[in-house]
Amino acid sequence: MKMSLRDWLENDWLTEHRTSAGEIRDLLKAVERDLADSRISALSPDWRLSIAYNAALQAATAALAAAGYRASRESHHYRVVQSLAHTIEAEESLIARFDRFRVKRNIGTYERSGMISDHEADEMVELAIEIHERVKGWLQKEHPDLLRT
């Protein structure tokens, strides 16, 4: 049986969160800024991937907030990535790709730099764009009140 976000809350993987249109607007602005920055070719592939990853993570955070939750500190990024199955109903293949980039980013950031290729950075940028578009579409359909300025 697939767990729900309510089950995650009971496991202390999430906390309840009441969002606002302002918070969602700010998260989506951060996504757009990071998407633009991730396309700067003068940056290293490691940095471009990290920025694009952050864009995707902020988009997923916006969806989770709109659903009424915030990820707990423990395994925060992992929970936000996995929550896309419950918010925008992302397919397992998208979540698996996003999670592989989460792991790759962690290794590149905390253990060994210089291991990200331009191709991998470009892939993460494309994935971040896809997640951003899907989250915006989901918000428009499910929570249009949060998109009003």
Identify whether 108 is part of a domain: yes
CA distance 36 to 33: 5
Domain with 133, as residue range(s), is: 5-140
Identify whether 9 is part of a domain: yes
Q: Which amino acid appears at position 11 of this protein?
A: N
Q: How many residues are listed for the chain in this entry?
A: 149
Residue range 115-140: average pLDDT?
Answer: 96
Q: What is the pLDDT of residues 31-90, one digit of tens each?
A: 999 999 999 999 999 999 999 999 999 999 999 999 999 998 888 999 999 999 999 999
Identify whether 147 is part of a domain: no
Residue 103 predicted with pLDDT over 80: yes
CA distance 106 to 39: 20
Identify whether 146 is part of a domain: no
Report in angstroms the alpha-carbon separations of 83 from 10, 46, 120, 131, 135: 15, 25, 23, 12, 12
Identify whether 24 is part of a domain: yes
Least confident of 45-49, 90-94, 108-112: 108-112
Identify whether 118 is part of a domain: yes
Identify whether 18 is part of a domain: yes
Report in angstroms the alpha-carbon separations of 66 from 18, 86, 139, 143: 8, 12, 8, 7
Provide CB contacts within 8 A for 76, sequence distance 6+: none
Residue 112 predicted with pLDDT over 80: no
Identify whether 149 is part of a domain: no
Q: Kindly state the DSSP code that residue 1 receives in the 8-state scheme.
A: -
Residue range 5-14: average pLDDT?
Answer: 89
Report in angstroms the alpha-carbon separations of 54 from 28, 96, 101, 142: 12, 16, 11, 24
Output the CA angle 91-14-16, nearest 5 degrees.
Answer: 110
Give the chain's domain count. 1
- Indicate which CATH number applies to the domain containing 112: 1.20.120.330
CA distance 144 to 142: 6
